Amino acid sequence: MLANPSGVRSTACYAQPSHFAFSGRCKLLSSFPNRPRFLSPKKTSKFCSLSLLLSRNGVRCNSFAVKALVEPEVSESVAAAAGGAGAGGSGLLPPVSVKIPFGDREILIETGHIGRQASGSVVATDGETIVYTSVCLSDVPSEPSDFFPLSVTYQERFSAAGRTSGGFFKREGKTKDNEVLICRMIDRPLRPTMLKGFYHETQLLSWVLSYDGLHCPDALAVTAAGIAVALSEVPHSEAIAGVRIGLLGDKFVVNPTTKEMEGSTLDLFLAGTDNAILMIEGYCDFLPEEKLLEAVQVGQGAVRQICSAVKALVTKCGKPKMLDAIRLPPPELYRLVEKIAGDELHNVLQIKSKIPRRKAISLLEEKVINRLTDKGYISIEGLSGSGETIQDLIDEEDEDEEIVVDGEVDEGDVHIKPVSRKSTPLFTEVDVKLVFKEVSSKILRRRIVEGGKRSDGRSPEDIRPITSSCGLLPRAHGSALFTRGETQSLAVVTLGDKQMAQKLDNLANVEEFKRFYLQYSFPPSSVGEVGRMGAPSRREIGHGTLAERALERILPTEDAFPYTIRVESTITESNGSSRCF
């Protein structure tokens, strides 16, 4: 046996009989209650693994297990000591499991068992499909901006279906297009619920850990993401959930299985809260509008049912929200920006062409920044008729701060307030930029609603002038240039045989080939800017898939047209939405 150093407690520990055994004993030496370490004699060097869990107070071990080679002796005293106080002493919330209605069945939601150091973590199980989702946020806020710093990553691991990637690299790497689309499906309903003014970078990670080939993981991932955020410290308004609606005959099915979807004439994905719809995506086989509206109502009812159950779970084990981290611009800044730039913004927003209008707005923004930040200081002459507001807006010295002329304080002394040698900057540049953008949007919206005119002079009912031409590229199989106002797309079609079909690697382990695919690109030159060029962005992948789904239903069957079709849509100009190009 090893000698026991002075002041170090020594306890003999034996393995549990349910594990592989080992010959010999080990000594647990812990000089500090929360920092255990193992020392063992040479005859116990055949350990294959060893684990220990101590309660936070370090008085006795909660449970431990040792894997080794032969059956050990089991000490009754050690076995009794192993039945500690449970999770309560670890400082972490105990695991919680709850079943939530998910269409015609229930899903199992577990939290507090996996990923306990994340701000929020959820394991969602539907059949034998399991999705693990975690939410973490940075300790330090990032620079304020006009968008919420949220990133979403979704990954389907091939091990979830008992497979390995068929490519040269066996480890999951580049995000597949299908995963990108589900990332966007998670992001879109979550982002509107995040409270304005929270700038801590937030990261949501979602993995498919098990896939049974029957229960789709996408709706489960959206719902798990909504629950994880609701349980976390991230300030948000309401919990969200996502469901898929199918149509079998005349019957709507909530969250249909993959087998049921094969016979469905509708694939509608809906996400929202218990009182609002935040995102709708999908396609159908020429269904009437009434059927689609009915499907939306069915989906909203299912989402409402899930959100009600989530609220009960959050009440039970949700973390307090970081409401004290919310930082909003001063309310008086909105009034001041509109007073300084309101009239000029009305004139600038009437410039019909995009590039001159953008330059004029940029110059006006710089002028406002120079007036309200440390780049330049506001003066009373700059605001005629605003005497009463200047007193409120300029940050003066504390009213109680005084200078005594003769060094003593008596009732007859003259008290003089210190006068700053220069004007005081009112606001930060970031706040001014945020408020200027909001004020610009407010004035533009007011001009459209009240005046009935957009920036280019059109009424709300007027469309931009449309022109199109074909056959621009002599060596391409098909080409067209489509222009609507200041938005323009160059489309190119290439035909090929079956070898040109796009092979898809999926969890279902079924060879899938796409004979029609549309690839959308949005270069920075389309908006007159300089930017990064490289792999397609998530936005480009999403827009391409949207257009692809719209055209897919009008294509001839493969028997009638046995060719592969590749469509490229390159946006050459953009002033408005280009996803329909």
Q: Are residues 104 and 43 in the same domain?
A: no
pLDDT beyond 50 at 74: no
Whichever domain contains 531, its CATH number is 3.30.230.70
**Is 458 among the domain residues?**
no
The pLDDT tens digits for 414-424 are: 444 444 444 44
pLDDT bucket at 172, cuts 50 / 70 / 90:
confident
Lowest mean pLDDT among 5-9, 127-131, 438-442, 467-471: 5-9
Q: Are residues 134 and 217 in the same domain?
A: yes
Higher pLDDT, 418 or 190: 190
* pLDDT computed for residue 497 by the predictor: 92
The pLDDT tens digits for 95-122 are: 899 999 888 899 999 999 999 999 999 9
pLDDT beyond 70 at 365: yes
Alpha carbons 120 and 232: distance in angstroms, whole number: 4
* pLDDT computed for residue 93 by the predictor: 66
Q: Are residues 152 and 53 in the same domain?
A: no
pLDDT beyond 70 at 445: yes
Q: What is the mean pLDDT of residues 385-411?
A: 39
pLDDT bucket at 580, cuts 50 / 70 / 90:
low
**Is 3 among the domain residues?**
no
* pLDDT computed for residue 548 by the predictor: 93
Cβ burial 101-127 (10 Å sphere, 16+ → b, else e): ebbeeebebbbbeebeebbbbbbbbbb
pLDDT beyond 70 at 85: no
Please list the residues that pair with 202 across neighbouring strands.
137, 150
The domain in which residue 260 lies consists of: 96-325
* pLDDT computed for residue 425 by the predictor: 54
pLDDT beyond 80 at 48: no
* pLDDT computed for residue 581 by the predictor: 61
**Is 461 among the domain residues?**
no
Instruction: Give me the chain's average pLDDT, please.
Output: 79
φ and ψ at residue 135, rounded to 5 degrees: -130, 125
pLDDT beyond 70 at 400: no
pLDDT bucket at 173, cuts 50 / 70 / 90:
confident
The pLDDT tens digits for 464-502 are: 999 999 999 999 999 999 999 999 999 999 999 988 998
**Is 460 among the domain residues?**
no
pLDDT bucket at 561, cuts 50 / 70 / 90:
very high
Q: Are residues 384 and 308 in the same domain?
A: no
Q: Are residues 86 and 104 in the same domain?
A: no
* pLDDT computed for residue 84 by the predictor: 38
Q: Are residues 272 and 407 in the same domain?
A: no
Alpha carbons 164 and 182: distance in angstroms, whole number: 21
**Is 387 among the domain residues?**
yes
pLDDT beyond 50 at 560: yes
pLDDT bucket at 455, cuts 50 / 70 / 90:
confident
Lowest mean pLDDT among 124-133, 227-236, 511-520: 511-520
**Is 457 among the domain residues?**
no
**Is 50 among the domain residues?**
yes
Q: Are residues 22 and 168 in the same domain?
A: no
pLDDT bucket at 160, cuts 50 / 70 / 90:
very high
* pLDDT computed for residue 174 by the predictor: 85
* pLDDT computed for residue 112 by the predictor: 92
Q: What is the mean pLDDT of residues 552-567?
A: 92
Higher pLDDT, 389 or 356: 356
| pTM for the full predicted model | 0.73
Alpha carbons 576 and 564: distance in angstroms, whole number: 31
CA dihedral 300, 296, 97, 160 (to 10 degrees): -160
Nearest alpha-carbon partner for 84 in 61, 65, 66, 52: 61
Cβ burial 411-430 (10 Å sphere, 16+ → b, else e): eeeeeeeeeeeeeebbbbeb
Q: Last residue of some domain: 64, 90, 116? A: 90
Nearest alpha-carbon partner for 561 in 516, 529, 526, 503: 516
Alpha carbons 107 and 100: distance in angstroms, whole number: 5
* pLDDT computed for residue 65 by the predictor: 39
